[in-house]
Each structure stands twice: as structure tokens, then as C-alpha cells.
Amino acid sequence: MHHGVPQTPHAIVPPPVAVIQDSVLHLGRSSPAPQSSVMKSTSVHHLRQCPVENSPTAKTRRGVTTACAAQDTSSLLGEKGSGMRVRTRVKSLSRFFDKVQDLGRDFKPDSAHYTIKNLTWEVDELLETPGDLENLSHSEQHCVATNLLDGLENVLKVLSKFLPKGPLTLRARAGTDLSLDVMEQRVREVTLGQNYTRMLLKWDTEQEPKDSDPFVVGLVSIPGIGKLLAEAALHETHKSLQWGVSSILLSDVNSAFLSNSDTQKLSSPVTFIFSHHPVTLGPGQKVLCVFWEHRKHGCGHWATTGCRTVSTEDTNTTCHCTHLSSFAVLMAQYDVQEEDPVLTVITYMGLGLSLLCLLLAALTFVLCKAIQNTSTSFHLQLSLCLFLAHLLFLIGIDRTEPQVLCTIIAGALHYLYLAAFAWMLLEGLHLFLTARNLTVVNYSSMRRRMKKLMFPVGYGVPALIVAISAASRPHLYGTSARCWLHPGKGFIWSFLGPVCAIFSVNLAFFLMTFWILKNKLSSLNNDVSTLQNTRMLTFKATAQLFILGCTWCLGILQVGPAAQVMAYLFTIINSLQGVFIFLVYCLLSQQVQEQYRKWFIGIRRLREESEMYTLSSRVLPDASKPNLVN
């Protein structure tokens, strides 16, 4: 450093075009590069890769995505006056960058006010009628908005140092507002106000570092950028991304900034007072103070970390935040449904009874040797899957915290219920094959084929479906109210799709089975041991269809005026599936009835023998005592 040689402003700060392209076009950078390095040439390998660069709709001729268009012009970051054009398929964004380059070429230190004004006007015009920006995907729009917010903040930090001391207020045609104050030194309290937002900063000036640069505090309101932040995810403190939560921006997006200060963790919270349209909160709604947080491998989302909603009235909301960023007030709509206490009681009582019946059925299939065959194996696996699914539902469906546990429970329920339906499908297939091969029902080749098929289909196919679902959208396992699949983004069809397919196939199996029974049972050999009763086989075919899918069709039909009735029917029938299985496959089976009778007789005989032994053990000691009477 050469003392005594005054540095010109051009040696202190790069042209605005360099700062904008360094800040706006490089993803993930939340603060401006050091002044000593901005003027140096920046190579492409130092740039962060655009997270949507593999999107086929976002690629340009040279594979450069919209949000990262200036990666082709990285040399411009260190070369003043370069004539390289930013290549992008978004014409409005391309025109904006061209105008920014013109501002950079025309920049002079004494025209900082003019440059800031024109830059504000250009941003305002770009966002007033986004046009082709609105044709981008939501993720790309979030990328563009993130980088515009970053770039504008960083440019304003640098250029405001060349402004004369005092306040500055600018308002563009479409509503973009800029309020900033340039001061010689820090003061204990600063207030900035606009039409719809006020900001109050307080801090201990004794703890702040002393430097010769002017102190700048600014607040810029950008109404138009809210259009680009639609469908953005919400991340509440200590919670995961709330993807299914719909939100409405109540206020404009406001960026607050300080110069020469670390604004990520302030000693005293900043107070924001937002004015907004009147709002009346309904069930499942709440007002949140949020900021736009950048993601490591994405473009950003709304977050509440470090921000607290102090108060909310009809037309204004007060927030406290311990950092500075881009802030807004939004109303979050959660999918909160009022629980019907009657349905809750029916669910828990029905599932409790089903658990008991499924346990008894499983024990019957394992212990009753007389009925053990391929059919019994299907019944056993179906009972086990439903038992585990119902048990996990009862103890874990409401355990939404911690989020990781809720995600695991949702995934396990997804797998267990799909496995149950897979075994239901195998039940239907086996019943159809049994009816088709009435005369060779015990034919060994058919039994071998079924044994090879049953476990890969029963447990492997559901595992594959869950693995694909978890790999593609893991964040949609679990909601804020239930540990189940999130209904948003069509994710619920990873369960309903297989269910509908299995129901359709089982319906076809039932119709074919019924037709075969009608036409061929007249010639059935009376010596076929496994199908002694034609009526029982027909009844099982009908019950099979009822158990294996009709109940879930009622769940899908819970819409419109009949939703309440369908909800009650679905809850009652579905929670009693275990009872139906125990009734059809155990209590109505003659072989099982005979086995139960033997077990009952055996248990009663053991009790009688035990009582006889106890009685005799009491009598014998009395008989062995000596007679003391003469």
C-alpha cells in the first residue's frame, strides 16, 4: 500500500456491471466479493454450478441455464468495458443485462445517484410485466429471484458509499421503493420508512468496529418479485420443508442491508412493521414473518429461522429478526382437518378388535396342521402384514415429531399396506387358479409355481415401489398432522395407484372365478377334498373381493355431499378387515371349527385333570394323618 497517493473511486470499487454479474449471476453467493479480488479475472471453475443446469427446458444453445447465463461471460468480471453479450433464451432478462452493462460503461463516481435510480427503474420494469420469466419453471423463477435479490443488494451496498451524506428515497412506477441513509458514523438507532414497511435498528455502538467508510443502511421494497416466488417451499424453525403448505404473500418482499457489517447475527433484533391487506385467519391458517433463505444445492425457500412474529393485527404485522436478508409476511395455510370424535372412536375400537382377530387368525394358520397348504400361507402373510400395519398406525400415525421418525413411520406404513395389498392380489390369483384347476387342485407343478412367485411379489414389489417413491420425493413422507403420504404433488398416487390396479385385477379374478364355478361345478368330482362345499367357495370369492379392495374404493370416494357417509363406511369396514379375515378363513371353515373343538376339549380336559390332581393332593395328606381318637 502506497501512503500519500490518494486512491480514485475507480480503484476502490468496480463498475456496477461487474458487481451485478458477480452478485446476480453467481448462485449461492450471499455477500459481495472482496474489493481486492473483484477486479481480478475470475475463472469458470470458481463459479458455483447452477442447480437446474440439467433441465432440458432451461438449456441454451451452449448448455447454459437461464439463472446462470453469465457463466459464459465470467471474463467480464475482471475486464471493464468488455463487449461480450449475455446469451440467454429469456429475452426480458437478456435486455435487462444489456441495460446493466450500459450502466456499467457510463458509471462515474459523481453519478452514483443516477446509476442507483436507473438500476432501480430497470429492476422495476423487468418485474412489472415478467412476461417470458413467468414461462420458466418455478425452480428457475426462484433462481432468478434469488440472484436478483442478491445482486441488487450487493450493488446498492457498494454504490451507496458514493452518495452524499443524508437520506435518499426513490420510488419507481411499478412500486419498487428504495430508502437508504448514508451517515458519517454509526448511530445507536436508525429508522427507515416506506409506504408499507418500516424498519428500526438498535445496537451497541461501542462494540462496533470503527472505520473511515460511510455507514449505510438501506431498505428496498420489490413488489414485482413476489410473482417469481410463487409455489416456494416453507421451512419453519426446527422443522423440515413444509412442501404441502400453501402460502399467500401478504406484504411486498423487502431487502434490508447494512454496509461494512456482518448482518448474519446481530446483537439486537431488527424490528420490521409490515402493512398489508386486511386478513382474517381461518382454521389451519397463521401469519408468519419469513425471509428468503438460499439453499446449498438450490435457489432458496421461505424460512423462519431467526425471525419471530411479535404481533399481528388486521392490517399490519410486527416482526423481530436477528439477521438481515429479504423479508416478507405470508399467510400459511396448513392442511388441518377437524377430527370427528366419533370416527376416531370407531377407528381405534375397530383396529383394536382387528388386531385381536388377526393375531388369532395368524396363530390358527400356524398351529392348525389340518389346514396348512398354499392358501393358508397366503392368509398368514396377509394377516401378518395387516397386523403390523394396523399396530404401527395406532401407535405412530400422530408422532409428527421428530420429523425423521415421522418420515420412517410413513415409509413403513406405505410398505406394509402395499405388502398387504400385494398378498391380497396373490390371494385373488390363487383363488382363480384353484377354480380353474378344480380337478387338479393339488397338482404339484402349480403349487411349486405359486411358492416361487409368492414372496418376490408379496414383499419385493412393494419394496421396489417404496424405494422409488422415497428416492424421488423423500420430503413428501409425513405431513404436519400425520405420518402418512403427503397428498400434494400427486404423491398419494404412489399408494392409490397400486391399490386401484390390484382392485381392478382382483375384480377380474372374481368375475372369472364366479363364471368358472357356475359352469364347471356341476361336473366337479365329489372326492376333491379342498373344495367340498361349492357354496363356501363362492362365498369366499365374494368375500375376497370385499376384503381385498372395496373398502379403499370407499376412501377414494370421500368427496362431495356424500363424503361424510363414505368416511363412516370406509372407517368402519376398513378397521374391521381383521374381523372379516378371521370370520371367513377361520370361523367358517369346517376344518378349523373341528380343530377349535379339539383344542377346546383338550383345554377343558387339562383343566379337569388339574382340578382332580389338586383335589387328590389335598385328600391324600388328610388320609395319611394318624387317628388320635381312641
Q: Which residues of the chain have pLDDT under 70?
A: 1-89, 130, 203-212, 235-246, 260-262, 283-284, 296-298, 332-339, 438-447, 480, 488, 520-538, 540-542, 544-564, 566, 611, 613, 615-630
pLDDT (0 to 100) of residue 557: 61
Report the pLDDT value the prediction gives residue 561, as an integer from 0 to 100. 59
Distance of alpha carbon 436 from alpha carbon 433, whole angstroms: 5
Cell of 398: 400422530
Quote the pLDDT of residue 461. 94
In the Cβ-directed half-sphere of 221, how many Cα atoms lie within 13 Å?
A: 27
DSSP category for residue 587: I
Residue indicated by cell numbers 387342485: 441
Tell me, what's the pLDDT at 619? 60
b/e per residue 65-76 (b: at least 16 CB within 10 A): bbbbbbbbbbeb
Residues with Cβ within 8 Å of 495's Cβ and at least 6 positions away in sequence, in order, are 414, 417, 418, 485
pLDDT at residue 462, rounded to an integer: 95
| pLDDT for position 261 | 63
Instruction: Supply the CATH classification number for the domain 341-594.
Output: 1.20.1070.10
Work out the number of other CB atoms within 10 angstroms of the CB of residue 285.
16
| Burial per residue of 481-519, b for 16 or more beta-carbon CB atoms within 10 angstroms, e otherwise | ebbbbbeeeebeebbeebbeebbebbbebbebbeebbee
Instruction: Read off the amino acid at residue 9.
Output: P
CA torsion sign, 114 to 119 to 120 to 124?
A: positive
- 349: closest CA among 88, 163, 579? 579
Per-domain residue ranges for the chain? 10-333, 341-594
CB proximity list for 97: less than 8 A, separation 6 or greater: 21, 69, 70, 86, 88
- Looking at residue 413, its pLDDT comes to 93
**Are 141 and 133 a contacting pair, CB within 8 Å?**
yes
Angle at the Cα of 471 from the Cα atoms of 397 and 302, rounded to 5 degrees: 75
Q: What are phi and psi of 68, to 5 degrees?
A: -120, 30
Report yes or no: 321 and 265 within 8 Å, Cβ to Cβ.
no
Contact 461, 422 (CB under 8 A): yes
What's the fold here for domain 10-333? Chondroitinase Ac; Chain A, domain 3 (2.60.220)
CB-count burial class (<10 Å; 0-12, 13-18, 19+) for 128? middle
User: Are 116 and 28 in contact, with CB atoms under 8 Å apart?
Assistant: no
Return the closest-CA partner of residue 570 out of 519, 620, 499, 622: 499
Q: 10-333 with 341-594: one CATH topology?
A: no
Angle at 549 between CA 382 and CA 516, to 5 degrees: 90
Mean pLDDT (the chain) is: 72
- The residues, any chain, with a CB within 8 Å of residue 499's CB and separated by 6 or more, are 421, 549, 552
Instruction: Report the distance separating Cα 90 and Cα 107, nearest Å.
Output: 26
